[in-house]
Every structure is written in structure tokens, then in C-alpha cells.
Structure 1
Amino acid sequence: MLKMENDSKLPMTKKELMEVLKINKPHTINKLIKQFKELDMMSEDKVELYGKQHKAFFVNEKYCFRKDVIKKASTKKTAKVFMNNIKELYAEDKIKPADLGFVYSIVPFVNYHHNLLTANPYEMDASKDKYLTVSDISEALGMHSKEVAKKLSSIKWDGMSVFTRIKRGRDTIIKANPLIVFRQEGYPPASMYAEFIINKK
């Protein structure tokens, strides 16, 4: 159930959802909710709290869940998003909804071993990893390569880049900041995000 804070008792209202998503027009939020429902990503229902009925929005746990709620989740097949850091990222002045959408669209490509973006993120043999270039990401997301390159270099959080580029031979491959998204158990070790801290501005 969507709530404004983890310890909130009441569900998030449509007005609060608009505020969080930085949406000003009711038409826009209604259209977005309709699309999410059609994609089976969100549902709307009534819940009874404190003797009253409240409308509530629910995210389909097939796509997004808290691990403490669903214990059976396999880390190798899912990616952990650090919610407080994502909230801070979205609160940055220059971050737009489309930027956050881009970050989430990258999540399926984050590799288990090293947080590099690969075509086979669940591959347990690191020697078989198929690294993605900007062109590969552009093709996978249906975006122009210049737009992808701009997103990769411009999305910042707390003075750090959310993505960094690494030269590998003739190609440039991409790494996602593990303090934002991480596929392994627990908190990422410092060695995984050292380059992001070093380049922090």
C-alpha cells in the first residue's frame, strides 16, 4: 500500500501522490494511474482504518516489494533499490520524473557481480558477462543515444553520479551506483562504490 512514510497509518491520497510525483494537473495523474492499472502495476481498493473507509493505492508485488514483507524473494533475480536514497535523488532540484523513470528502466540490466550494466544480469559466471554500451542501452530502451548519454552523465545524487562510464578496450561500459541500486544481499561494500565517492563534487 502506498503511504507517505513507512510508519504512516493512512494510505497515500491522490493529492499526496501528485505532490510526490511532482504532477500539477489532475488529468495527468488520472491518466498515469489508469495506465498503471492497465499494465497491472497498480490497483486501487478501499481499506478500513480507524472505523472509516479510505481509498488506497497498491503496487503489484510482482514488480516491487519490500523484502521484509516477502521473504521468499531471490536476490539473484531481483534488485534492491535503496528507498531513502531514491527519495533524496528525486528531491534534487534538477531531477525530473523522466530522470527517475530512466533510473528504474536501467534496473533490469544491473549485473549481480559488479553493478555494471549487462545483457545477462543474472549470469553467475562473470567471464560470460555481456556488457552494454550506450548504443545497446539506447536500442533496449527505444531512446536516442544522445538522450541516453545525457541521462547517464547528468543524473546526480548528493554530489555523486548515479552512473559512471568505464573504458574497456574500444568500448565504454556503464556502472550503476550501488548506493542507489544493488543486486546482492546486504549493503554494498565500499569497494563497490569507491569511484563514485572519489568523483563526488
Structure 2
Amino acid sequence: MAQKKLVDPKTGESFDLWVDTEDDKQRKSKWKEKMLAKKEHEKLTGSFTFTLLSSIQGLIEDTSFTDDEKTRIMFLGTYVTYGESEYSKLQKGNGTPILKKHLQKLLMITHNKSFYQFYNRLIEKKIIIENGNGKNAELYWTSKYHFKGKASLSHRKEKNLIKLYDRQLRELYTSKDQKGRQKYRPSNLYILFCMLPFVNYETNLLSVNADIPASETRPLLLSELAIQFGLTRSSSLKRKLLNIKLADSPVFSIITEADKEYVRVNPYIVWRNTSEPPEAITQTFKATKEFLISRQEALPGKRLRNYLESNGTQ
């Protein structure tokens, strides 16, 4: 700001007035644009859950869970509520608690034995704790993996956080094919969660060092990622990534530069930065944005139908 001296013409008294310089005006204008863009992104993406990247890396390395089960852990984490303790209640968006008796159906596990083996490991490792007895027990989820609310300063400084957009991840998990079967096996989606530790916090590109500015590192080649995930051909990984879609829009984008190929993750599904993703990134996923807009436009009618049904008028 700049100081400007003014004189009252009636009294002759002088006083100082602080006014915005052109730089101040430009800075405020950019900040306003940034906030508006951030609000637009938040409106489109909806609620999100924080995930600790260090815990995800530990889960990836944990051999006591299968790939299917690790994906189910990531899916269940999107149902945590806001809380300041070590555990948060699992509940649906309408506030209905997820009870033990609901869990098998929610996870779409058809075999009782598979479900209870998985559930007992969750209890054993204290990822879930029960409040109550029997099938009506309420379930609480450890904040070691997922939480909602304000992140600690240490986690923010260490860039140990990534946002998972709840509804998009749930739709990926629960989407069905034309025959009414689960479209993606949990193990098919597992690769998305394996990618999280590589997501650069500025660009959403899978990078050699995801925690430093993009200008100080480089994106991982598709061929390097293929080796990382035990595949002999990068084309196999490419096909695997491009086959995963949210309502016909890509979850991964393959960026080609000369003879090199890189991978970017959809910022409407996961995003690390506290600022909104720039247009240069979101433009690649325009189909997702259009899908989210159309989904939002359909919400008022859907809410009305749900209200009428719940009140017995339909």
C-alpha cells in the first residue's frame, strides 16, 4: 500500500490515507480469481477425505491384505466423518451410521467367509473398532489412514496428504456393467492407490520425487512405471490404466512427448495441493468436468424423488 497525504479544505487539517497501489490491486484481483476457481472446483468435486501417503505406502507393503482388500480399505475410508480423535465414525452422506450388518453389502462381497476373514483382520489391526455388540455395532475408522477436517501442521509441512474425492471413488468401486455386475474388480482399481505416493503435489503427474516442485524433479516414464509394477511391457500398463473410467471419462491421462510417455491422474478424483488445479491440468479431463456438472444439475430432481419416496408419496 502507498501513503497519501490529504488536506481538509475547510479546516486545513492534514491527514494520511493508505491506498492500494496498482500492484496491490492486481494481487487482490488474482487472489479473488483463485478463490472463485477453488470454490468452483470444490463445488464440482464435492466432499473429500484426507489420506496419509506414508500410511498408504505401508498398506501397499502389507502382505497380510490382498490387493482386493487394500482397495476395499481405501473405499471404506471415504465414509469417515469429521472428528478430532484417533477414530471417526463411518456413516453415509445422509448421516446414517454404517453398522456391522451393513458392511458386507456395502463392500459388495458375496462370500461370507471372505467377508469375515477381511473384517476380522480389520479388527485385529485396529483399522476398525466397534461401538456396541453384534451386528448392530457402529463402526469407527482409524485416522491413521483417513480423516476429514483440519490436517496437522506437521503433515502439511511434510506434504504427507492427498485428497480423495469421496463420491467419485465410491462410484468407481460400485459401478456396474450392463449385466449388473461390479464393473471393476477391487484388484483392478488397486493400481490407482498404488500410484498415490508418486502423485506430484503441483501437477498430478506421477513423478520421481512427488514432494518437491515440478521444476526440480521429472515425471516418471510409463516404461519406468511398468517396471515398478512388475510388468514387462509399458503397453500392458497403458491399457490397464486407460481401461479405468469414471462414467466414460478417464481416470488416467497418458501424455506423449516425442517418444516419451508420462501419466497424470485425474484431479477431480485425487488432488494433493491446497490450491485449485490450474486449467492446464483440468483441460485434459474436460469430460470428467462435464460429467460432474451434469450430475450436479440432476441432483435437485433426485433429492425430490428421494424425499417423496421416503414420505410414502411415490
TM over 0.5: same fold?
yes
Note if contact 1:2-1:59 (Cα within 8 Å) is conserved in structure 2. Answer: yes
Note if contact 2:242-2:250 (Cα within 8 Å) is conserved in structure 1. Answer: yes
Q: Match of 2:171?
A: 88
Provide the aligned C-alpha RMSD in A. Answer: 3.1
Counterpart mapping for 1:26-105 below 5 A: 26-37=112-123, 40=125, 42-47=127-132, 54-66=136-148, 68=149, 70=151, 72=153, 73-74=155-156, 76-93=159-176, 94-105=183-194
Runs of 4+ in 1 over 6 A off after TM superposition: none
State the shift of 1:117 in Å.
0.5
State the shift of 1:190 in Å.
3.8
Query: CA 1:53 to 1:195, structure 2 compared with 1: closer, same or farther past 3 Å?
Result: closer
- In the aligned structure 1, how far is the partner of 2:273 from the partner of 2:245? 23
- In the aligned structure 2, how far is the partner of 1:55 from the partner of 1:128? 49
State the shift of 1:175 in Å.
0.4
Matching residue within 187, 191, 205 for 1:116? 205
Q: Match of 1:137?
A: 225
State the shift of 1:136 in Å.
2.5
Consecutive unaligned residues in structure 1, runs of 5 or more: none
- In the aligned structure 2, how far is the partner of 1:141 from the partner of 1:35? 25
Q: Does 1:188 align with 2:188?
A: no
- In the aligned structure 2, how far is the partner of 1:30 from the partner of 1:88? 24
- Specify the code of the residue in structure 2 equivalent to 1:46: N
- Specify the code of the residue in structure 1 equivalent to 2:145: Y
- In the aligned structure 1, how far is the partner of 2:96 from the partner of 2:287? 40
Note if contact 1:44-1:55 (Cα within 8 Å) is conserved in structure 2. Answer: no
Q: Secondary structure at the match of 1:188?
A: coil
Note if contact 2:206-2:220 (Cα within 8 Å) is conserved in structure 1. Answer: yes
Query: CA 1:41 to 1:152, structure 2 compared with 1: closer, same or farther past 3 Å?
Result: farther
Q: Match of 2:215?
A: 127
- In the aligned structure 1, how far is the partner of 2:122 from the partner of 2:172? 23
Q: Match of 1:157?
A: 246
Q: Match of 1:11?
A: 98
Structure 2 length-normalised TM: 0.53
Note if contact 2:89-2:97 (Cα within 8 Å) is conserved in structure 1. Answer: no
State how many pairs are aligned. 194
Consecutive unaligned residues in structure 2, runs of 5 or more: 1-87, 177-182, 292-314
Structure 1 length-normalised TM: 0.79
- In the aligned structure 1, how far is the partner of 2:138 from the partner of 2:221? 41
- In the aligned structure 2, how far is the partner of 1:62 from the partner of 1:23? 25
Note if contact 2:128-2:139 (Cα within 8 Å) is conserved in structure 1. Answer: yes
- Specify the code of the residue in structure 2 equivalent to 1:171: K
- Specify the code of the residue in structure 2 equivalent to 1:79: I
Q: Secondary structure at the match of 2:268?
A: coil
Note if contact 2:254-2:261 (Cα within 8 Å) is conserved in structure 1. Answer: yes
- Specify the code of the residue in structure 2 equivalent to 1:168: E
Please identify which structure carries the higher helix content.
2
Quick check: 107-116 or 179-188, which moved more? 179-188
Query: CA 1:190 to 1:87, structure 2 compared with 1: closer, same or farther past 3 Å?
Result: farther
Note if contact 2:162-2:271 (Cα within 8 Å) is conserved in structure 1. Answer: yes
